[in-house]
Amino acid sequence: MSSLNCTFTFLFLIFANLLLLGTSTSNNHDFLECLIHQFQLSNLDTDIIYTPQNATYASLLLTQNLRAATTSPEKPDLIVTPFYVSEIQAAVFCSRKLGLQIRVKSGGHDYEGLSYTSASTPFMIIDMRNFRSVTVNDKAKTAWVQAGATLGELYYTISLKSKTLGFPAGACPTVGVGGHFSGGGYSMMSRKHSIASDHIVDAKLINADGEILDRSSMGEDLFWAIRGGGGTSFGIVLEFKVTLVSVPETVTVFNVTRTLEENATDIVNKWQYIADKVDENLLLRLFLAPSNSRTISASFTTLYLGRIGDLMPIMEEQFPELGLTEKDCMEMSWVESHLFFAGFENRTVDVLLDRTPQGIYGAITYFKGKSDYVSAPIPVKGLREIWRFLLEEEGSQAQLQFSPYGGVFNTISDSETPFPHRNGNIFMIFYVVVWDNPSESQAHLDWIRGFYSFMARYVTQNPRAAYFNYRDLDIGSNTQDSSITTYDQASVWGLKYFKNNFRRLVGVKTKIDPSNFFRNEQSIPPLVSYLENRFNSSSI
């Protein structure tokens, strides 16, 4: 049987089975009928469409955060896992024709689940898992990376080509490239090499008309927008071309933990004064968590782009309070450092190819995250208040991540890309609390929201900034005024994520997708919808 006939037969059988389920699946019927018509026009693969009646459907919804599914319990009408660009184009065409919202999923690490849930129905998911090719040109120091590839697959493929090339992106290997790159992409090398989105030099994207655009045809405004402004507000990113960075053959890592009884308060305080100022080859990331009901552990998880012998004098001069010794340090290759940071020390590098979602603490569970930026050191009194919050019962499975800035961040303009968090930041805070039982959700949400409210006095203001890749639906959702327009609501979180770049992003959205076809609960709104809402409100 030809591929064309096989595809048609497969879709026809799904369509026939859905007819037996009654009128509740009429959206599926219409969509599948549209796809059947579209798929007859080209030679396409099979086994790419999943409905709730399919045995594989539930496994495709497996993601990092169980909370997202409970807060947005509506399930997608369909999940499409395309192999070919033409299949994505057909899905876009049919979704637009029938008014079916699209969510685009690459790795499933969206903290609020906006890539695989929706507050409104009907909707479908385009799962990019089959778009995972990574092509490295070691001579040109570039790579084409499809949006469905994971960071681990990217790192592994680079390591096969070169021992002295790397890429500055996240420490969790199962994160999908599509969302991570287009939203920023902080790295253990970011003080030296900035973030992932700063290294994008070309991209391919499908717009709302189903057209395939590259940098030349999309224009510089749209190309600017998808490098930190989130790709799914503007289209479906197929792949990115990125520049790779030079790394030493041997790097140094360590993870040193100190408790309150071991003078952690003073050590953390000193860290605030040096973390953004030390040698840019050194990134001292700090993790704070209760180790039991009585004390706090401060873990300094570190990458140094060089050998132990070069690291020790820096630490002895800049941060002697930590008491680092050579025995605390390990030398390894850059790709092996990702095993260390992911907790895979006893595994071989091919574990980076495992796409199974990882939870915050290694297990899939419920969690809530928030973020902040700090431009002045938190006083010791404030640190002690933080310890008090972490030692509360609801904070027993909480963690704070302090990620240092400085270095190359201080040399890049806030408007170079939509990611605006550059000069003037000492570090970024990521707050997360984890729980196992859904009945405990409200208590833990109240705890982290209360903690976040308390921290307002110690973080940036006007706006109180946040990191887009640590998506937080609490931002901008505290109003009950139904007359507020989509644009007004979006500007609350938009200014926090993007500062003044938000207005330019709205301009790009208005030009590229004025009908707001590509949208979610925190997508960039077009100015057209804002003006229409204003006009309609004033006319009532």
The residues of the chain that CATH labels 3.40.462.20 are 251-330+367-458
Fold exhibited by the domain 251-330+367-458: Vanillyl-alcohol Oxidase; Chain A, domain 3 (3.40.462)
Task: For CATH 3.30.43.10, list the domain ranges present in the chain.
Answer: 3-127
Residue range(s) occupied by CATH 3.30.465.10 in the chain: 134-246
Q: What is the pLDDT tens value at each position of the chain, 540 positions in all?
A: 444 444 443 344 344 444 333 333 566 778 777 877 776 644 444 478 888 888 889 888 877 788 877 777 788 989 999 999 999 999 999 999 988 899 999 988 899 999 988 887 789 999 999 999 999 999 999 999 999 999 999 999 999 999 999 999 999 999 999 999 999 999 999 999 999 999 999 999 999 999 999 999 999 999 999 999 999 999 999 999 999 999 999 999 999 999 999 999 999 999 999 999 999 999 999 999 999 879 999 999 999 999 999 999 999 999 999 999 999 999 999 999 999 999 998 889 999 999 987 766 667 789 999 999 999 999 999 999 999 999 999 999 999 999 999 999 999 999 999 999 999 999 999 999 999 999 999 999 999 999 999 999 999 999 999 999 999 999 975 443 333 446 788 999 999 999 999 999 999 999 999 999 999 999 999 987 545 544 444 433
Please tell me the distance from the alpha carbon of residue 138 to that of residue 136, in angstroms, as a whole number. Answer: 6
Decide if domain 134-246 falls under CATH 3.40.50.800: no
Catalytic annotation, residues: 470
Long-range residue pairs from 38-43, CB within 8 A, at least 24 positions apart, any chain: 38/90, 38/93, 38/94, 39/7, 39/8, 39/11, 39/87, 39/90, 40/4, 40/8, 42/4, 42/86, 43/2, 43/3, 43/4, 43/7
SS3 letters across 340-370: HHCCCCCCCHHHHHCCCCCCCCCCCEEEEEE
User: Which helix or strand (DSSP H or E) is residue 242 part of?
Assistant: strand 236-243
Cross-strand partners of 246: 165
Fold observed for domain 3-127: 3.30.43
